[in-house]
Amino acid sequence: MTYNLAYHNEKPHISKPVPHEIWPPKATEEELQELARQRNTDISIRGCAGPIKEFEENFINFMENGAEYAVTFNSGTSALLAAYFAIGLDAGDELIGPALTYHAALSPAFILKADVILCDIDRNSRCIDANKIESLITEKTKAITVVHQWGHPADMDKIMEVARKHNLKVVEDCSHAHGSKYKGRFCGTFGDVAAFSLQNNKAIFAGEGGILVTNNKDIHDRAVLLGHYRDRCRDTITNPDLQKYWETGFGLKLRMSPFNAIVAKYSLKNFEKIKIGRHKCLRYFTDRLKEVDYIETPVIEECIDMGAWYGFKPLYLKEKLNNINREKLVVALQKEGMEVSAPSGKMLSNEPLYNSENNPLFSNAYKQRHSDPKSLSIAKLVQDSALSLPTFYDWDNDKEIIDSYIEVFKKIKENYKELL
């Protein structure tokens, strides 16, 4: 039999070596010089000062002052822990969050001995399904966590309506949604508090780091006390019941280093250029993928601004390709030279961190309230069907490789019998 696919060791369609998306961008000379100056000026962390203060102020300006307060942390996970602590999440409280997302969006709640209740997601946005939250609310429910998954904003109108009706706090995890907007308003400005990861792969990155934003002074003060102490607590906290803890904070040290703040400051400065390039590339990629009948492209309504598109995750419709399983498709695409994989995130209910009865730290880990697997059917569909493709941003160089990806998808369709 004569084969056409590289799956059978034929020549791959794409010869350019992976990775095809080079991230993060190289540092400018200006950034490197500032890092060197900081090394010889001060490598310690002194309250809210220097590059940390500058980055926090720049971030508030970036969000067009939709949030009044910003506090940096050593990771997005730490920022989320501070957010949960700051809203008063406590032992026995229930937190409702999406069933398919990064595990650390919800797991800090376990440290506070709260319970996590998983809600199915929306097929189009991949965010928590706003229409399914209310059925999960009990007298123990304290808050809703909204993850703007892969950069797509959740249905914040409906979510805030439910939260107000039941007097619930709303925490926004914007770790994927730097610069994303819902109906013209920045993600991170709807709920009581929001957290952003600044990890290396994010559009605004510090290497490792996170930032919390809020318009609530008490939430700000409690968040500061959880991860900071001494100078910053003394200088910024005015509530006398909280200010008395200024020397020690609440016993943790979760602060960002000045070097990470400098890296974050320059990535923020470069954000708009990256965003414009990414929108141009991924809108074009989306349009071209409509030529491939076994790929379901992301649905983005006119009221949505995807910000920096953290992740490009179309769905594979295997019934359109003779039910070839996704794993075999991914291998076939990779052998053709494409940079592609299945997304790493699984349904949280399948993770031992969330379902193990013997977890020594999170003894109250999630136990599914409903035994009916259909209750999380969309989360399972996305888990089993999504493809992870590069989030291209360099239009002048990436258009050609995007076109090559489309040719590979079509090549697979034309020769799918070779995979049977």
Q: What is the DSSP string of 41-104?
A: H--S--SS-HHHHHHHHHHHHHTTTS-SEEEEESSHHHHHHHHHHHTT--TT-EEEEESBS-GG
Domain ranges within the chain, ordered by starting residue: 6-25+271-343+386-419, 29-269
CA angle 69, 269, 37 (to 5 degrees): 90
pLDDT at 357: 73
Dihedral sign from CA coordinates of 43, 251, 87, 120: positive
Q: Which of 209, 192, 164, 188 is nearest to 88 (CA)?
A: 192
Cα dihedral 20→21→26→28 (10° resolution): 120
Q: Which fold has domain 29-269?
A: Aspartate Aminotransferase; domain 2 (3.40.640)
In tens, the pLDDT along 155-207 reads 999 999 999 999 999 999 999 999 999 999 999 999 999 999 999 999 999 99
The pTM score is: 0.96
**Of 185, 168, 182, 173, nearest in space to 133 by CA:** 168
Residue 45 pLDDT > 90, yes or no?
no
Portion of the chain with pLDDT greater than 70, in percent: 97
Report how far residue 153's alpha carbon sits from residue 180's, in angstroms, rounded to the nearest whole number. Answer: 7
pLDDT at 368 over 70: no
Asked whether the predicted pLDDT for residue 371 surpasses 50, the reply is no
Q: Looking at the structure, give the CATH architecture of the domain made up of residues 6-25+271-343+386-419.
A: Alpha-Beta Complex (3.90)
CA distances from residue 33 to 28, 30, 38, 51, 134 in whole angstroms, order as listed: 9, 5, 9, 14, 52
Q: What is the Cα–Cα distance from 264 to 282, expressed in whole angstroms?
A: 24
Entry field: residues in the chain: 420
- 314-366 tens-digit pLDDT: 999 999 999 999 999 999 999 999 999 999 878 999 888 888 777 777 766 65
Residue 116 has pLDDT above 70, yes or no: yes
Higher pLDDT, 372 or 413: 413
